[in-house]
């Protein structure tokens, strides 16, 4: 029982500016259930990498345990990666990031991996504002162990077993804003038009970018009684605003009428243009951002889009003033600067 | 766009590019599949029912299927469909149970066929099982027509030809060979219920106005007559230097034949660039492979005769110019005419229709062809039908076979006093291929193999003897591998918008990025708006009814591999892989 993906691709498949086709960002064929939201989230990552001309060998993929944590095998087959212990993705990512700040870090986790066993790790990565793209594929259940409710399952929601969840749920986005993440967004695996720009914005952002990707579990949690089914999410989705992501090298072609949009310049010079509709929400203020989430929740709506962005918060390297160079490029002379340097330090302490 | 009507048999038929392109609509993917399973008898039978001459067509078909093959849009080369047809013919058993039963009791209707080529033989095969009595007239001593007189044995051995022709004659055709029909009136007066004319396009074009043509006559031959003369051994050898004029398949046959008969300096001269030649690319390759140069952009000026003997020809160099509509004109260059010495010239510059037996009032068009109903092949004389090259001008064997099928249907309807335009429908089926998880009734694996070359006889040997067939045909093993290159375009991707939950799994898995869920628009806009623009307008867009979000599914059929991954990854079976069979109607079908 196995199937493979043909090697042929569309002959008119475009190349990006880095010279890669979409195929160069693919990984192995997915072994997740047919229809799993995670596969769509994976395709969103591939699309974002392709569009941003990411060089596959400059990416490190980190993950924990779970259906979601399997996905790094299904994208960027020619990148670096580490599949860690359950819930320990943030600490592995922290270590890697400390050793080499030049790579693009994609941490993939799930609602179990993040909101249960890995909650402590999650909290501290947020607090340090680690320069990491933390993508949580959130389906509200433990798919790998037959669909038990997870900590993000909404109260009253029932999956395939039919028993409503009696506990309150954890809102990972609120938590992320609360604990110090500098870029917080929510997407839906069934809407790549929104998801791909969110991922691209995260990649351009310096600091912890957290994206809660609602990603239905088609096998255990896609029932009419679940709040994380394709149908329910589509019916209850609300967006902060739509936005364009404009990479640094790209000319701004769209005409933005004054007062109708807000531009946020990212650290790498890219710009996010937030389109203000009547119902649009301010996403640069932490208080308002949390308020937005709570307001929509009270109305029974699920708020998606870019929820909060703050370019002022320093990322871990800047906080601890660490070396700009990857550790493996430091020579003996850099690490042992000699007796004179030591004397200087000793003198400063006298 | 409106949702695609998949109930229309033409929609899925068109997706099967090869079958759609074939004038006879032979179910190609089905017989390739049978070959890959080693079921040569069944593969042969499918061919025989549809195209009547699998062994012959497996060698000399014009292969309209191959340029149409989806594989050539996915990678460099189409599946070698024609040569696989030969595989079915080469490895079939002696079993003849596929032959129809010919009723002992006839239906009382008598049909005359004039000309024993592929069109007439097809009519005979289609009508005999229905109880018709069939009289076949030809001025040659054996049946086959063009295929016998003008296709050289090094491309089609006589044994293969005889086997396929005799198979039909043995069904009970009354043959009148060495019987030239000189008067159509006489034939019509014989009280046949219907008369079918399949006399081909028997006259080779000459260049009568070229200076020196008359003086050089002893050394100038018309291509198709030349080939026939070789067959009947009136011509047994070539002089040293032979020029063949013309760029079609007959020119290629003539030059290769002259080479075999002793011509050591055989050259082909064409007026156009090589890229514009009418000959099939593989025929051109075969000629060049045998060391025959093809000299392009040379227009003949005159024959040079000295002391009554042809010594050469002058040619004017020309350049091809194309106007905005792509129409070509050959403009002479400033260079002086080129002299090319030769001992013999073979003119293969086209074929013409001729109806020397025409002595009745028959409506003809401005091209000198009979006025026919394109669908029924009926002429202005109600019981007179035409097919093959005699009907609409020179085409090819497979077209003649298709004409034969249509004419047989018409004759059958005519003899029953039925409306000729109320024709039997093709028989189609659409059957799910799902067996279970990742388990299909068809082999969905996509082979990475590139097209296999057909092995050939050693050149030294084949160039010595015109009777040695150049191509050896595929081995069973290579035939299997080549057949596995087929993309199973008859296994259709069928989409149901009602059950779709828009999870995007099909979009994400599709290796060819064919599938899209977007807002509906006009066809032109949809072609632009999808992930990879659908620039090949020959290929359809498959558009669904709106899904829950109001968008529509749009699939560009162009380079779909029919790998089944969309259906494999679909959680709700909204995609299904279903085999579509299309069998053209035949005479007698209810």
Tell me the mean pLDDT in the region B183-206: 95
Please give, rounded to a whole number of angstroms, the shortest distance from the CA of B526 to a CA of chain A.
17
Is A79 part of the contact surface with chain B (CB cutoff 8 Å)? no
End-to-end CA distance of chain A: 72
Residue B438's nearest CA partner among B285, B527, B255, B570 is B570
Is A234 part of the contact surface with chain B (CB cutoff 8 Å)? yes
Taking contacts as CB-CB distances below 8 angstroms, the residues of chain A near B568 are 3, 34
CB atoms within 10 A of CB B12: 27
Tell me the mean pLDDT in the region B79-92: 97
Closest Cα in chain B to A11: B74
Residue A270 has a pLDDT of 83
Assembly ipTM: 0.90
Predicted confidence band at A281 (pLDDT cuts at 50, 70, 90)?
confident
Residue B76: pLDDT over 80: yes
Total beta-carbon pairs less than 8 A apart between chain A and chain B: 98
Residue A255: pLDDT over 70: no
Taking contacts as CB-CB distances below 8 angstroms, the residues of chain A near B74 are 8, 11
How far apart (Å, rounded) are the C-alpha atoms in residues B128 and B116? Answer: 15
Tell me the mean pLDDT in the region B421-427: 96
Residue B99: pLDDT over 80: yes
Closest Cα in chain B to A10: B512
Please, are residues A123 and A159 in contact by the beta-carbon 8 Å criterion? no
Residue A274 has a pLDDT of 76
Predicted confidence band at A258 (pLDDT cuts at 50, 70, 90)?
low
Taking contacts as CB-CB distances below 8 angstroms, the residues of chain B near A4 are 445
Taking contacts as CB-CB distances below 8 angstroms, the residues of chain A near B444 are 3
Is B504 part of the contact surface with chain A (CB cutoff 8 Å)? yes
Please, are residues A116 and A151 in contact by the beta-carbon 8 Å criterion? yes
Instruction: Kindly determine whether residue B561 and residue A8, on different chains, have CB atoms separated by under 8 Å.
Output: yes
Dump pLDDT digits (tens) for B120-178. 999 999 999 999 999 999 999 999 999 999 999 999 999 999 999 999 999 999 999 99
Residue B131 has a pLDDT of 97
Is A7 part of the contact surface with chain B (CB cutoff 8 Å)? yes
Tell me the mean pLDDT in the region A131-141: 97
How far apart (Å, rounded) are the C-alpha atoms in residues B123 and B387? Answer: 9
How far apart (Å, rounded) are the C-alpha atoms in residues A288 and B572? Answer: 41
**Contacts of B590 by beta carbon, 8 Å cutoff, 6+ apart:** B424
CATH architecture of B110-202+353-415: 3-Layer(bba) Sandwich (3.50)
> Judged by CB atoms within 8 Å, which residues 179-198 of A form the interface with B?
189-190, 192
Is A36 part of the contact surface with chain B (CB cutoff 8 Å)? yes
Tell me the mean pLDDT in the region A82-96: 97
Dump pLDDT digits (tens) for B12-60. 999 999 999 999 999 999 999 999 999 999 999 999 999 999 999 999 9
Residue A256 has a pLDDT of 61
Taking contacts as CB-CB distances below 8 angstroms, the residues of chain B near A74 are none
Residue B257: pLDDT over 60: yes
Instruction: Kindly determine whether residue B508 and residue A42, on different chains, have CB atoms separated by under 8 Å.
Output: yes
Instruction: Kindly determine whether residue A34 and residue B570, on different chains, have CB atoms separated by under 8 Å.
Output: yes
Residue B437 has a pLDDT of 79
CA distances from A146 to A1, A71, A149, B530 (A): 21, 18, 10, 37
Lowest mean pLDDT among A235-239, B65-69, B345-349: A235-239
Taking contacts as CB-CB distances below 8 angstroms, the residues of chain A near B501 are 35, 218, 222, 230-231
Is A78 part of the contact surface with chain B (CB cutoff 8 Å)? no
Residue A269 has a pLDDT of 80
Closest Cα in chain B to A1: B438
Dump pLDDT digits (tens) for B280-326. 999 999 999 999 999 999 999 999 999 999 999 999 999 999 988 88
Mean pLDDT of chain A: 92
Residue A1 has a pLDDT of 36
Taking contacts as CB-CB distances below 8 angstroms, the residues of chain B near A195 are none
Phi then psi for residue B419, to 5 deg, are -70, 125
**Contacts of A214 by beta carbon, 8 Å cutoff, 6+ apart:** A37, A138, A139, A186, A187, A188, A189, A228, A233, A302, A304
Is B76 part of the contact surface with chain A (CB cutoff 8 Å)? no
How far apart (Å, rounded) are the C-alpha atoms in residues B305 and B219? Answer: 10
Dump pLDDT digits (tens) for A205-230. 999 999 999 999 999 999 999 999 99
Share of chain B above pLDDT 90, in %: 97
Dump pLDDT digits (tens) for B460-514. 999 999 999 999 999 999 999 999 999 999 999 999 999 999 999 999 999 999 9
CATH of domain A22-320: 3.40.50.970
CA distances from A144 to A16, A121, B10, B437 (A): 36, 21, 46, 19
Residue B97: pLDDT over 60: yes
Taking contacts as CB-CB distances below 8 angstroms, the residues of chain B near A29 are 509
Give burial (CB, 10 Å; 0-12/13-18/19+) of B565: buried
Dump pLDDT digits (tens) for A9-66. 999 999 999 999 999 999 999 999 999 999 999 999 999 999 999 999 999 999 999 9
Taking contacts as CB-CB distances below 8 angstroms, the residues of chain A near B505 are 34-36, 39-40
Same fold, B110-202+353-415 and B204-350: yes
Residue A153's nearest CA partner among A235, A42, A74, A227 is A227
Residue A266 has a pLDDT of 81
Work out the angle at residue A132's Cα, subtended by the Cα atoms of residues A126 and A136, and round it to the nearest 5 degrees: 75
Q: What residue segments make up the domains of chain A, in order of their start?
A: 22-320
Q: What residue segments make up the domains of chain B, in order of their start?
A: 110-202+353-415, 204-350
Query: Which one is the CATH code of B204-350: 3.40.50.720, 3.50.50.60, 1.10.10.10, 3.40.50.300?
Result: 3.50.50.60
Task: Please give, one letter per residue, the 3-state secondary structure of B233-286.
Answer: CCCCCCCCEEEEECCCHHHHHHHHHHHHCCCCEEEEECCCCHHHCCCCHHHHHH
Dump pLDDT digits (tens) for B410-422. 999 999 999 999 9
Q: Name the residue facing A34 among B505, B514, B535 (closest C-beta).
A: B505
Residue A136 has a pLDDT of 98
Which of B437, B488, B503 to probe by mutation at the A interface, max A CB count within 10 Å?
Answer: B503
Residue B102, both tokens: 């010919």
Mean pLDDT of chain B: 96
Is B360 part of the contact surface with chain A (CB cutoff 8 Å)? no
Instruction: Kindly determine whether residue A35 and residue B572, on different chains, have CB atoms separated by under 8 Å.
Output: yes
Residue B54's nearest CA partner among B21, B20, B98 is B98
Residue A257: pLDDT over 80: no
């Amino acid at each position: 029982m196995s199937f493979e993906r043909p090697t042929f691709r569309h002959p008119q498949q475009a190349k990006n500016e880095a010279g890669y086709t979409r195929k160069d960002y693919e990984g192995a064929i997915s072994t997740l259930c047919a229809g799993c939201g995670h596969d769509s989230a994976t395709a969103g990552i591939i699309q974002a990498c392709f569009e941003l001309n990411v060089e596959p060998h400059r990416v490190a993929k980190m993950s924990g345990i779970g259906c979601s944590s399997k996905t790094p095998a299904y994208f960027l087959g020619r990148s670096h990666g580490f599949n860690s212990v359950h819930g320990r993705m943030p600490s592995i990512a922290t270590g890697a990031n400390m050793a080499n700040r030049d790579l693009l870090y994609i941490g993939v986790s799930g609602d179990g991996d993040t909101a249960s066993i890995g909650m402590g790790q999650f909290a501290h990565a947020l607090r340090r504002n680690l320069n990491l793209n933390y993508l949580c594929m959130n389906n509200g259940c433990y798919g790998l162990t037959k669909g038990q409710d997870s900590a993000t399952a909404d109260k009253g929601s029932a999956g395939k077993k039919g028993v409503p969840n009696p506990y309150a749920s954890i809102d990972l986005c609120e938590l992320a804003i609360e604990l110090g993440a500098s870029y917080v967004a929510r997407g839906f695996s069934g809407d790549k038009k929104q998801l791909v720009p969110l991922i691209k914005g995260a990649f351009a952002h310096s600091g912890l970018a957290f994206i809660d990707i609602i990603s239905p579990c088609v096998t255990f949690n896609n029932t009419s009684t679940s709040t994380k089914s394709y149908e329910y999410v589509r019916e209850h989705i609300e967006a902060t605003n739509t936005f364009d992501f404009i990479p640094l090298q790209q000319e701004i072609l769209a005409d933005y009428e004054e007062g109708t949009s807000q531009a946020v310049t990212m650290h790498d010079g890219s710009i996010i243009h937030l389109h203000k509709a009547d119902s649009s929400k301010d996403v640069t203020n932490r208080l308002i951002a949390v308020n937005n989430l709570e307001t929509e929740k009270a109305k029974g709506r699920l708020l998606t889009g870019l929820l909060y962005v703050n370019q002022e918060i320093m990322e871990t390297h800047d906080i601890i003033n660490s070396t700009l160079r990857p550790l493996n490029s430091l020579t003996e002379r850099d690490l042992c600067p000699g007796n004179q340097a030591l004397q200087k330090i000793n003198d400063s302490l006298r | 766009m409106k949702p695609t009507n998949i109930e229309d048999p033409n929609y899925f038929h068109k997706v099967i590019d090869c079958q759609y392109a074939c004038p006879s609509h032979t179910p190609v993917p089905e017989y390739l599949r049978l070959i890959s399973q080693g079921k040569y008898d069944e593969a042969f039978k499918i061919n025989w029912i549809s195209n009547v001459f699998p062994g012959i067509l497996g060698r000399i078909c014009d292969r309209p299927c191959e340029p149409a093959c989806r594989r050539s849009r996915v990678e460099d080369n189409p599946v070698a469909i024609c040569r696989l047809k030969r595989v079915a013919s080469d490895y079939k058993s002696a079993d003849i149970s596929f032959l129809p039963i010919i009723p002992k009791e006839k239906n009382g209707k008598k049909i005359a066929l004039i000309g024993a080529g592929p069109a007439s033989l097809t009519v005979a095969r289609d009508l005999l099982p229905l109880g018709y009595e069939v009289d076949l007239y030809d001025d040659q001593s054996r049946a086959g027509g063009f295929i016998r007189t003008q296709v050289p044995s090094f491309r089609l051995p006589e044994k293969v030809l005889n086997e396929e022709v005799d198979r039909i004659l043995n069904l009970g055709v009354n043959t009148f060979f060495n019987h030239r029909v000189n008067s159509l009136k006489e034939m019509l007066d014989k009280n046949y219920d219907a008369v079918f004319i399949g006399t081909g396009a028997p006259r080779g074009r000459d260049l009568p106005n070229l200076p020196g043509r008359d003086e050089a006559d002893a050394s100038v031959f018309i291509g198709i007559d030349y080939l026939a003369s070789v067959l009947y051994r009136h011509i047994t050898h070539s002089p040293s230097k032979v020029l063949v004029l013309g760029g079609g398949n007959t020119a290629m046959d003539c030059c290769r034949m002259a080479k075999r008969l002793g011509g050591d300096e055989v050259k082909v001269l064409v007026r156009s660039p090589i890229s514009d030649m009418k000959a099939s690319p593989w025929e051109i390759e075969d000629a060049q492979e045998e060391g025959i140069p093809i000299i392009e952009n040379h227009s003949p000026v005159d024959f040079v005769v000295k002391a009554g003997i042809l010594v050469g020809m002058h040619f004017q160099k020309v350049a091809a110019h194309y106007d905005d509509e792509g129409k070509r004109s050959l403009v002479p260059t400033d260079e002086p005419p080129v002299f090319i010495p030769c001992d013999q010239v073979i003119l293969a510059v086209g074929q013409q229709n001729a109806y020397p037996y025409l002595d009745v009032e028959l409506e003809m068009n401005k091209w000198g062809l009979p006025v026919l109903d394109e669908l029924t092949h009926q002429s202005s004389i109600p019981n007179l039908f035409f097919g093959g090259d005699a009907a609409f001008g020179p085409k090819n064997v497979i077209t003649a076979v298709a004409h034969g099928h249509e004419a047989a249907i018409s004759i059958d309807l005519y003899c029953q006093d039925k409306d000729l335009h109320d024709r039997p429908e093709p028989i189609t089926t659409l059957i799910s291929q799902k067996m279970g998880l990742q388990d299909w009734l068809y082999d969905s694996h996509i082979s990475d193999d590139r097209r296999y070359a057909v092995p050939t006889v050693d050149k030294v040997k084949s160039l010595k003897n015109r009777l040695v067939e150049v191509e050896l045909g595929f081995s069973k093993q290579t035939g299997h591998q080549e057949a596995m290159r087929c993309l199973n375009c008859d296994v259709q991707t069928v989409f149901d918008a009602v059950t779709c939950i828009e999870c995007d799994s099909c979009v994400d898995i599709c290796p060819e990025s064919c599938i899209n869920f977007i807002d509906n628009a006009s066809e032109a806009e949809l072609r632009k708006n999808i992930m990879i623009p659908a620039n090949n307008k020959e290929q359809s867009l498959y558009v669904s009814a709106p899904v829950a979000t109001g968008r529509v599914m749009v699939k560009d059929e162009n380079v779909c591999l029919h790998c089944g991954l969309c259906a494999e990854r679909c959680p709700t079976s909204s995609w299904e892989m279903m085999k579509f069979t299309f069998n053209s109607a035949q005479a007698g079908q209810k």
